[in-house]
Structure 1
Amino acid sequence: MEIPPVVPPGRMSALPQTVLGLPDGWLLRPWEPYDAPALVASGTDPDIQHWNRTGRFTEARAEERIARYRANWEAEKAAIWAVAPAAGVPAAGLIGLADLDLPGGSGEILYWLLPAGRGSGVMAGAVARVSRWAFEELGLHRIRITHSVANPASCRIAEKTGFPLEGTMRGALLHADGWHDEHLHARLRTDGPVPT
């Protein structure tokens, strides 16, 4: 007997990438060409480069990446939003679902913030909002967050948004300063409402 896909093919691409509102006027919206400087800045920010593998961008490469974000939505490979403090304002960060396995019903949340967005508490709200979208609108069964064990800020975000720690993956990701153990946090759709 064949197991049916958790999320049928075409469901995600049929959904528009809507703007997701957050408290205090922040919003998650599709990336626009005018956000290219935010990607360029992410490539030179030492904290983003330390914890993420985003790489460096020229303006042209950043515009290509933004076009790829849109193409990946259509191809049902990833759902990437810009984190912006208000409508029409350039991005201050990124959040999304990557490593999507729609037939298996899972994906991984990834995120970063430029210095202008840090300390605002916006990322916990963004993780909660994307999680609700992924469970309620897309229909995923399981979402995970992984981060270096040396990054306690990401651990706090995961715990605050109801992603319990499941374990430590030894030597799981190569950073610029060597191999890092990674915490694995995960949440199931059946875990109840996502904390806000």
Structure 2
Amino acid sequence: MPYATRPVLPAGTFSRTSQPTLPAGDGLVLRPWRTEDAPAVHAAFQDPVMRQWHIRTADSEEEVRGWITEWQQGWGRERNAQWAVADADGDRLLGRVALREVELGDAVAEVAYWTTAAARGRGVAARATRALARWALDEIGFQRLELTHAVANEASCGVARKAGFALEGTKRSALLHPDGWHDMHLHARVRGD
């Protein structure tokens, strides 16, 4: 049975080009991941705040190198696109920003982010998320970007608001964290916001 609409973004939207480096302004850059980022990612995941709000743990640098390989391959598979957030001057890793659950045909993706402990409180996550959203919506042509976080994670809610993602509702008991089930806020930006 044929579809009533055509895909909004065609297959190859990502894979026909190399993953770009995106300027985020104010001394930040979003760049593709490198294998040599593994020690910094591993160190970031040892932070108790990361352990509280993320469902993954990093037991070794070897494990993280595997993640980075997956992140690098995600671009060509067009299901996710992951960037390292780095200091534009010294290339010091400050965090991660990503498009996950990419559905090119519907022009929809989920935004995810984290920052290192040293980068928190400096607006890094909000600036990186704004830059990614601007690129995805305005340059690539996505129609909708969604962002979810645990309701109890007030800092992440602040990032979403500062990055221009409107709160749309609460998904009850939607994600299992190490301390139990969490209600999740659903935020979104759509093209033209």
Percent sequence identity over aligned pairs: 44
1:77 to 76, 79, 99: 79
1:92-140 Cα offsets, whole Å, 9 max, x none, are 2111110111111111110111111111111111111000111123221
CA shift for structure 1 position 184: 0.3
Between structures 1 and 2, the one with greater strand share: 2
Say whether 1:8 aligns with 2:10: yes
Letter aligned with residue 76 of structure 1: E
| Counterpart selection for 1:145 from 144, 147, 172 | 147
Q: Supply the AA of the counterpart residue of 1:41.
A: A
Q: CA deviation at 1:87?
A: 4.9
Q: For residues 43-192 of structure 1, what are the structure 2 equivalents within 5 Å?
A: 43-87=45-89, 89-191=91-193
Residue deviations 1:30-76 (CA, integer Å, cap 9, x gap):
11111101221233111112111232141222112111111110010
| Long gaps (5+) in structure 2 | none
* Bigger shift: residues 129-138 or 170-179: 129-138
| Cα distance in structure 1, aligned partners of 2:173 and 2:190 | 25
What SS is found at the alignment partner of 1:126?
helix
CA distance in 2, matches of 1:10, 1:23: 28
Q: Size of the alignment, in residue pairs?
A: 191
C-alpha RMSD of matched pairs (Å): 1.4
Q: Following TM superposition, where does structure 1 have runs of at least 4 consecutive aligned residues deviating by more than 2 angstroms? A: 86-90
User: Is the contact between residue 75 and residue 81 of structure 2 (CA under 8 Å) also seen in structure 1?
Assistant: yes
Taking the aligned partners of 2:183 and 2:53, their CA distance within structure 1 comes to: 12
SS of residue paired to 2:192: helix
Q: Which structure 1 segments of 5+ residues have no match?
A: 192-196
TM-score normalised per structure 2? 0.93
Partners of 1:133 and 1:14 lie apart in 2 by 17
